[in-house]
Structure 1
Amino acid sequence: MRPTTPTPADPEAWNAYLAEGNAKQARKRVAADVLLRDPTGRVLLVNPTYKPGWDLPGGMAEANEPPEDAVRRELIEELGLRVSLLGLLVVDWVAPHGPWDDQLAFMFYGGTIDQDQADRLQPRDEELSEAAFVTAAEARVRLPDRTRRRFDGALKALDEGRPLYLRDGAPVL
């Protein structure tokens, strides 16, 4: 006789059944970055100490942390900067590469900070060596390929007024 599937009528058995299913599901790494500008329209880039090349401000989400909370937390930790996010620009599915499994990378729009904030901005922890506002053209030169494609998607999303779904930085839908 085949065992029956628990039902919500037996909460303890039901939760154990759901937990078993949850344990078998894939886990995704989640990254969250922000596109942030100064009053002249330049974009903020950061230079991480733990990997080569420049990056957009943000980072990896912690377990069960929403992407928008992750990017706010990273901005405070790394730059001492509090911003209001103005919307989602990009969701990018990043294929497995090197030792890494796939991930979901979110990019939010943080708008424009005032000149005083921009002038005072500097790294606040050991994960960053520099922070700089650069033109979009300069950002394209400094950013690694995968991040540059996501950055270009974010600029396109701003122009189109709608978020974009990317697959390894290329528009899909």
Structure 2
Amino acid sequence: MAENSLPLQQAAVHPAVQPLSYLLGTWRGQGEGSFPTISPFKYSEELQFSHVPNKPVIAYSSKTWKLSSGEPMHSESGFWRPKLDGTIEVVIAQSTALVEVQKGTYDAEQRRVKLKSALVGNATKVKEMSRIYEVISGELSYVVEMATNLTSLQPHLKAVLKKL
């Protein structure tokens, strides 16, 4: 190492990310979906939450596949930006070209994140979405609600995942 080179600093979890650090890692499990305009379905899912060291952001990705055949279904990715005051901003791009900008809150003690759409972009039918993520007894569960131009906000997806 050259004399005026600084040693690499050990990567640190940003203080804004620390309250949600329990989410970091890979989660896998099963879920089910329904909505008035579609037939009910079941799926397997893998969620990943990763942290860029020293940055106030969590990278998020989700991939689902049919429970019966293993055929790929849906994927989405984005970024979660928690703030020290307990609020959070999230942007998610779906494989369907729909984009969600969500705002919400988190409770580190209860291990719960509540999100509500501030903007749903490039959507002809979807008008609003909400998501609640919660870790209970080591399992991550979530519920996604959706409203369309024909329906009010109602349950669409729910899943339970275990950390790998």
TM-score scaled by length of structure 1: 0.28
TM-score scaled by length of structure 2: 0.29
- Which structure is richer in relative contact order (CA contacts within 8 A, separation 6 or more)? 1
